Amino acid sequence: MKKRIVAVMLSAIMAVVPMAVSASAAETETETETAAAETEGASEAESETEKKVDLTGLTIGVQLGTTGDLSVTDEYGDDAVERYNKGFEAVQALVQGKIDAVVIDELPAEEFVKSVEGLKILESAYSQEDYAICFAKENTELADKVNGAIKELKEEGTFDQIANSYIGDTAGENYYESPEDVDRSNGTLTMATNAEFPPYEYYESDEITGLDVDFAQAICDKLGMELEVEDMAFDSIIPAVNSGKADMGVAGMTVTPDREKEVLFSDSYYSSKQVIIVKDDFEE
């Protein structure tokens, strides 16, 4: 398979009273520590919310149909949003001064900022999100099988290997390779994706590759199936799955309440966040 470069008792009867007092004190101390921890956690969550950058009055670029599109539109209204079929098109519009910011997933954002001068990612994340694989609502049998494969791949460390080969200091090393003795007599699994989302899925030398593609391949290896990858617009993935054109959608897709009304999601396989790309001279 072609490869590429491209985140924790006391005893004695005479001590009954002291013990009761000590236990009471210990319980009080524990309760105090627990309350303090809860308060601290709440404060941190509130702090993250408070630190969120206010984009009111700005024109915000998003990729059509993504979580960024849905979230930004919900918060700032349709008039504040400019939609693009590809994430990189939104980044180009930012460079050209047509928009003021881009809201997109963290890892693609990092790739874009590396390749385009004069841009930065704001420290405050826009939102947190979990990625999962989507299926048609009635396709529970396949979803159960894929969930079983996901569980195995995580437990044996294969998913971490795949993720680490695309993310962080070990990116570009130790890519996933299918076992040579896989029996693929169980048919073909068609994966719908949008190959404009590095490092999850992207083109290299006319081949679709990336973290999601390798993960889907590993799932197919577990299920004894061939993998076929179909590239399409992001907002076409759910319709493709529901129409039977594809068996599953794997595209760095965030689980949201609205999407859960349309499709069945697998267990989450990765957590990420939406971030904000701006020009270097942007002041918060």
pLDDT higher than threshold 90 for residue 222: yes
| pLDDT bucket at 168, cuts 50 / 70 / 90 | confident
| Per-residue model confidence (pLDDT) at position 51 | 61
Residue type (1 letter), 159 = F
Q: Which CATH architecture has domain 133-267?
A: 3-Layer(aba) Sandwich (3.40)
Q: Token match 């971490």: residue?
A: 160
The architecture in CATH of the region 60-129 reads 3-Layer(aba) Sandwich (3.40)
Q: Which residues are CB-contacts of 239 (< 8 A; sequence separation ≥ 6)?
A: none
For the cut 60, the answer to whether the pLDDT of residue 54 exceeds it is: yes
* Residue 15: how many other CB atoms lie within 10 Å: 12
CB atoms under 10 Å from CB of 161, counted, come to: 17
Residue 65 pLDDT level (bands cut at 50, 70, 90)? confident
DSSP secondary structure letter of residue 254: B
* Tokens coding 100: 């003021």
Query: Which of the given ranges, 43-57, 110-124, 131-145, 170-184, has the highest pLDDT on average?
Result: 131-145
Residue 172 has pLDDT above 80, yes or no: yes
The kind and range of the H/E element at 278 are strand 270-279
Is the per-residue pLDDT at 220 higher than 90? yes
Tell me if residue 183 falls in helix, strand or coil: coil
User: Quick check: 20 pLDDT over 80?
Assistant: no
- Per-residue pLDDT, averaged over 108-136, amounts to 93
Other beta carbons within 10 angstroms of residue 247's beta carbon come to: 22
CA dihedral 170, 172, 173, 175 (to 10 degrees): 120
Q: Domain limits of the chain?
A: 13-51, 60-129, 133-267
User: Do 223 and 149 contact (CB within 8 A), yes or no?
Assistant: yes
In this predicted structure, the answer to whether residue 233 has a pLDDT above a threshold of 60 is yes
Closest CA to 146 of 65, 33, 227: 227
Task: Indicate whether 276 pLDDT > 90.
Answer: yes
Distance of alpha carbon 251 from its chain centroid, rounded? 9
Fold match flag (60-129 vs 133-267): yes
pTM for this one?
A: 0.69
